[in-house]
Amino acid sequence: MTEGLEGLGVGLLDRLAGHELWAIVAAAAVIAGVLVVPGGIWRVTGVWVTMVHELGHALAGALRGRTGMRIRVNADHSGLTTSTGRSDSVAWTSFWGYPAPPLVGALMVCAAAAGWSTDSAVWTTTAVGVLLGVSVAALLFMRGLIAVGSTLAGIAGTAVLLLWAPQPVTVLVLLAAGLFEWAGGVRAIANLTRLHARRRARGSDASVLGRLTVLPAFVWIAVFWLIALAPVGLLVWATR
């Protein structure tokens, strides 16, 4: 396996040598688009976006002292995170589901870009190591075949990257995975917006926040959009 991955890394390095970072990101964006746009593929891959969404709830709850985390993910991309704790932590916990995939995706892209630009494995190794650690910890909270199986697949993939993949492979995988999480998170927010426009989302996170706070659901949806699109705005500003 090591020799095969090293050969793949050398081949990628030869092909990508001399290309600008934006061209590498564009190639990764095509991969991410294939994973997010076609409905048939999205029905499978979207589960990983839902898992990050639910982990956003779980981490936010843990930061507010909530305990007894249990996460379930369903084949239709719905999910549920349950926990126990103070009632004043529910709004905070409910908020961080939709922002989690775009933010995690943006951080992965930043780590990959830093690794490519500096020609240093520190950024990518750290990012993959953190992903592996979070995935192993998350396994403790997963319930159900889909949640457990998807988490184990993620652990296996990140372990292979960390232990055997050369730097060019790791950069491309991080870029593609990060763009996938970002785009998948945007697609989820778009779906939430559509459901609210049709008044078919009374149990959504935005509806819960609307009931728990003074702000209506559509304002919380706007905040979700602002957070999801902020990385793009920052990119445009940084490269202007």
Q: Is residue 80 part of a domain?
A: no
Q: Is residue 87 part of a domain?
A: no
pLDDT band at 164 (very low <50, low <70, confident <90, very high): confident
Cβ density class 179-199: b for 16+ within 10 Å, e for less: bbbbbbbbbbbeebbebbeee
CA dist list (Å): 94 to 54, 60, 74:
10, 8, 18
Q: Is residue 81 part of a domain?
A: no
Cβ–Cβ contacts within 10 Å for residue 115, how many? Answer: 23
Q: Is residue 86 part of a domain?
A: no
Distance CA 101, CA 97 (A): 8
Total domain count, the chain: 1
Q: Is residue 195 part of a domain?
A: yes
Is this model's pTM higher than 0.85 or not? Answer: yes
> What is the per-residue pLDDT across 107-153, written as a single tens digit (0 to 9) for each?
999 999 888 888 888 999 999 999 999 999 999 999 999 999 999 99
Q: Is residue 85 part of a domain?
A: no
Pairing of β 142-143 and β 79-84:
unpaired
Q: Is residue 228 part of a domain?
A: yes
- Tokens (6 digits) for 20: 């600008």
Q: Is residue 51 part of a domain?
A: yes
Query: Which residue range is the domain that position 102 belongs to?
Result: 2-75+92-238
